[in-house]
Structures are given as C-alpha cells and as structure tokens.
Structure 1
Amino acid sequence: MLIVMGLPARAQTVLVVGDSLSAGYGLRQNEAWPVLLGERLKQSGYGHSVVNASISGDTSANGLSRIDAALAANRPAVVILALGANDGLRGLPPKSLRENLETMARRSQAAGARVLIAGMQLPPNYGPDYTQKFAATFREAAKATGSALMPFLLEGFAADPKSFLSDGIHPVAAAQPRIVDNVWPPLKPLLGKPAAGR
C-alpha cells in the first residue's frame, strides 16, 4: 500500500449513502444497484470499488447523523447521496431536506470526495406545491454545493408497476440495471480516467 505523509493513499471508493431504494430492500444482496454499479465500474476499466452504506428507512437527517463516520471509515473518492425519499413520504419540510443534503455534500467535499446528488420525485397525490418544491430541492442543493446531479433515481420506469415490488415503492431486481444506467452518466465525469485506459 502506498503511504503518503504517513497516511494510506486514498482508496478509489465510491460511497453510496442512501435508503431502502439503494439498500436493496426485498432483493438478494447481489441484486441491488450499488453492487451492479461496482460490476459496471470493473467492466469499464475503473479501479473503484463501491461501498454501500445505505440503510432502509433512513431520512436525510439520519444520513447526516452518520456521514462523518462513513467518510472516516471509507475515505471515498466519490460520494453518492441517494437520500430524501423517506423525507418526502413523511411530508417533512423540503427546507430541512435541502439543508441536510448541502451539509452532507460539503462534509464529503471537505473530506476530499466529489459528490453526486441523486434526486427523487413524489407521486402526485402529495399535491402539486409540495411535490414541486420537493423535486426542486435536489437541484438547489447540487447547485449550492457544486455537486453533480442526477435529477431522478428512478427515471424512465417510475410509472411502470411491473418495475416495483407489490408495495409499489421498491424496484424489483430487473429494474436495478436501469438505476445504474441513470447513475452512470453523471457519475462517470467524477471518476477520472479508467485504470485500464478504456
């Protein structure tokens, strides 16, 4: 292992801090999209590994409470913040969500990581005012912190019932590669050049 000024060299780690949508709720462990992202990175010649620090049920406040420990433990090169869905489902204030996302992003950046914020959208039954403010929160947090943005984690299949478990919330295994396809374009510029030079 390379040693720089007495410390281990930064691992090429992508840290995913999310909720059940990233933790692989209802799936086998190897089916969740962060695992598939790790496979995509390897196939594309990148030397990065993926650490999935997602916990089912987490809100952005929960994520904020544990981000420092996750950063210290993993020293990531890239952090994907995939939180907010539970804030929305519970009707929590978008202002608090934005503040939590911005704080997590800034702490990640201060630790030397690039940040990708994964956006979320709510079904229309939450009302147009709340759903619009909620969706805009991710864009605003990304802009305020200079983070990369993926507008909607479930883009392209959110309206397809067959892509979700019977609860209508959590994507099935067959939908997980589509999440990777959504993550990949905004993530790739944050990774640097592939180790294999592809």
Structure 2
Amino acid sequence: MLVTAFTLILMCAPTHAATVLILGDSLSAGYGMSEDQGWVQLLRNELPQNNIVNGSVSGETTAGGLRRLPNLLESSQPDLVVIELGGNDGLRGFPPNQLKLNLTKIIEISTAHGAKVLLTEIMVPPNYGPRYSKSFTQTYHQLAEEYNIKLIPFFMQKIATDTNLMQRDGIHPNEQAQASITQWMLPWITQELSD
C-alpha cells in the first residue's frame, strides 16, 4: 500500500517526456514469454508519456552490453539508462573484477553521453559459494558509491524463492511475476526522472 501511494505521488509530479533505456539480459528481455507480457512493456503502460526503449538481450553479459551500448545511446538518446546486467557473468563464474571493469565503462559512457544512470543489483545463486557471491554483489554497491548513483535492490530476491512466479528452469521469472517486477522498478525510475 505504501509503495503504491508513493508511486502515485511520484507519477503526479510534473515531469517532462523522457527516454529511458533498459540495458539488460533475459530478466528484462521477457525470456520465455511474448514481449508484451514482460515487465518493460508493463512499465511502458505505466509511463505512457515517456519513451521506454528495451535494449535487453537474453544471454547478455556485461561485455556484450558494453559492446552494444554506443549504438543504443546514439539511436535512442536516453535521459536515463537502467543497467540490469551481470547475471550471466555470474552464472559463468566470471571474476568480479571483470564485472566491475565492464560496468564501470558502461556507467562512464552513459554519463558522458548525458544520461543519468540507475544500477540494478544482481545476485548469484548461493551454490557459487559465499566468497564469490559476496564479492560479486559487493561490486554493485561499490560502483553505486563510487559514482554516486542509486542502486536498485535485486528484484528477483523474493520472486526466485516462489515457484509460482518462476519458469521451469528455476532461473527466469514467469508471466505472473512481471507485474511485481514493474512495481518494484517503477518508483526508482519515476523518482530519477523527476529529480
């Protein structure tokens, strides 16, 4: 109820039409469902006055997102870049320092292009070991602090433990989870656009 009320207050605040680029992987690309069922499309429905560009690709790593970023920035000219990348880096066991280097470049290129940046926290499954898991997630907190950007808590934390909200692979959220993801992301994005 509080989140909904907060969201309504933010949505009523005067804002200009803005372009938001979602730079993500399968969690934002709507893997396993039609595009109009994914949370990014639901976000478009919530923010019809803004241009929401989904630059997400299933299987994407931070390195892949970094390679695609310049063209996405040029074509969309975003006011805000929401970075939802790193899950595939973690699943492949890539070292956290490589993750940090790629995310650092993504942040710097986005801000140099004149866009604000929101970073989404990513966590890896606990079976990767506590040392790797902690180091991996801390990377996002370090970057948020170093670049003074807001860090969105990982939207899959509660969803991943609910089998009713997950696809059979146990990795991807299903159609029923998409509205929850949208409501999780919406106030962060709306607040950033209104600042």
Is 1:25 aligned to 2:31, yes or no?
Answer: yes
* Superposed structure 1 runs of 4+ greater than 6 Å apart: none
User: How is 1:163-174 mapped onto 2 (pairs within 5 angstroms)?
Assistant: 163-174=165-176
The equivalent of 2:156 in structure 1 is 154
Following superposition, the deviation at residue 137 of structure 1 comes to 1.2
Q: Would the aligned equivalents of 2:110 and 2:117 in 1 still touch at CA under 8 Å?
A: yes
Once residues 142 and 97 of structure 1 are traced to their aligned partners in structure 2, the CA distance between those partners, rounded to angstroms, is 14
Structure (1 or 2) with the greater helix fraction: 2
SS of the residue 1:191 aligns to:
helix
SS of the residue 2:161 aligns to:
coil
**Could you state the TM-score of these two structures normalised by the residue count of structure 2?**
0.88
Following superposition, the deviation at residue 177 of structure 1 comes to 1.1
Query: What is the one-letter code of the residue matched to 2:82?
Result: I
Query: What is the one-letter code of the residue matched to 2:126?
Result: P
Tell me, which stretches of 5 or more residues in structure 1 are unaligned? 1-9, 194-198
SS of the residue 2:53 aligns to:
strand
User: How is 1:135-150 mapped onto 2 (pairs within 5 angstroms)?
Assistant: 135-150=137-152
Q: 2:61 aligns with which of 55, 59, 62?
A: 59
Following superposition, the deviation at residue 84 of structure 1 comes to 0.3
User: How is 1:7-156 mapped onto 2 (pairs within 5 angstroms)?
Assistant: 12-42=18-48, 47-156=49-158
Following superposition, the deviation at residue 185 of structure 1 comes to 2.7
What's the CA shift string for 1:149-198, capped at 9, x where partnerless? 102121322211221111001100110111112212322221127xxxxx
SS of the residue 2:160 aligns to:
coil
Once residues 141 and 190 of structure 2 are traced to their aligned partners in structure 1, the CA distance between those partners, rounded to angstroms, is 19
Query: What is the one-letter code of the residue matched to 1:162?
Result: N
**Could you state the TM-score of these two structures normalised by the residue count of structure 1?**
0.86
Following superposition, the deviation at residue 73 of structure 1 comes to 0.6
Following superposition, the deviation at residue 48 of structure 1 comes to 1.1
Following superposition, the deviation at residue 11 of structure 1 comes to 6.8
Once residues 79 and 106 of structure 1 are traced to their aligned partners in structure 2, the CA distance between those partners, rounded to angstroms, is 11
Query: What is the one-letter code of the residue matched to 2:35?
Result: Q
Query: What is the one-letter code of the residue matched to 2:163?
Result: P
Q: Would the aligned equivalents of 1:139 and 1:151 in 2 still touch at CA under 8 Å?
A: no
SS of the residue 1:98 aligns to:
helix
Identity, % of aligned pairs?
Answer: 41
Once residues 148 and 106 of structure 1 are traced to their aligned partners in structure 2, the CA distance between those partners, rounded to angstroms, is 15
Following superposition, the deviation at residue 121 of structure 1 comes to 1.1
What's the CA shift string for 1:15-67, capped at 9, x where partnerless? 0011111100001110111111111113xxxx211110101111001001111
Report the number of matched residues.
Answer: 180
